[in-house]
Amino acid sequence: MNDRTTSDWRRAPSEPVAHGDRTGSVKAFVAHRNLLFTVAYEMLGSAADAEDILQETWLRWVGVDLDTVRDQRAYLVRITTRQALSHLRTLGRRKESYVGPWLPEPLLTSPDVADDVELADSVSMAMLLVLETLTPTERAVFVLREVFDLGYDEIAEAVGKSPAAVRQIAHRARAHVAARRPRRVTSAAENRRTVEAFQRAVETGDLQSLLDILAPDVVLLTDGGGVVQAALAPVVGADQVAHVLGRIAAALSLQPTQVNGDPALIVRQNGEIDTVVAMRIDDGLVTGLYAVRNPEKLSHLERETTLRR
């Protein structure tokens, strides 16, 4: 976050301040802040970058004459989307030089996110990785249409395209995602049982119990960002994944939680967060493990992040 705007930004998302005609701007921004963060996060996969986008949105919004704004929510979403689109193109170039697999920045989410099936699906690690395969404009259109149900006219204004072009982009993006969309066919109760069994197997080093709950084609992705040790390529197959998990030291503590609406384990060493492992579970088997170890991506795991559609 830029120092030059910190004081102004810190005041914006909190209680409205009486600065003449800024009061209305602050109230509107605070009312929609969680929605704007969710839009930016789903487009970027980074909470830190999403916060930066909100800062830019605020700086532009505070200078807008509210008398000229018909729909404040749509206007704010438009500003956020344009800023996120610009940032997404820069982020893409950064990812090209990233060391090892890149994973989204995990967010500690409340149970109500998991209860909202559509929201949980859209922010899951698996889905965010699918969205990474879209072009920036396709991703923006898909997120705004499929997740937030914005009209084609509104989306067209946000991405600088005609409504007809947006319809075509939406159709193309929808088909692309549908071909790669992860399944969700496990109940919350079954998820809990699988996570508990997974945790016991890892903590006790019970290889057979671990193999019993790993799908044969399970994939483990580890993101160390070149900062900490991590596998530089996906680990594929139950035997290989179980071998890697078997190296987890008994001194590490495992804490069940919810990350991005999915079941997860926070791994602590000496009381400090070392890794977060988000889990994709299908039919009671673990089919995907997303282990984020890059310290720069672990700052949002000490408190819940509020997401809204």
Segment 52-67 mean pLDDT: 93
Provide the token pair at 170: 């939406």
- Helix segments in the chain, DSSP class H: 6-11, 22-44, 47-61, 72-96, 111-115, 117-123, 125-131, 136-142, 152-159, 163-178, 188-204, 207-213, 238-245
Segment 209-224 mean pLDDT: 96
CA atoms of 290 and 262, how far apart (whole Å): 11
- Is the full-model pTM beyond 0.85? yes
CA atoms of 43 and 84, how far apart (whole Å): 7
Report whether pLDDT(131) > 80.
yes
Q: What is the torsion angle, in degrees rounded to the nearest 10, for the CA atoms of residue 107, residue 105, residue 116 and residue 158? A: 130
Segment 53-75 mean pLDDT: 93
CA atoms of 251 and 220, how far apart (whole Å): 22
Q: Are 39 and 82 in contact (CB under 8 A)?
A: no
Of 49-63, 104-118, 182-196, which gets the smallest average pLDDT?
182-196
Max distance between CA atoms of the chain, in angstroms, equals: 67
- Of the chain, the percentage scoring pLDDT greater than 90 comes to 70
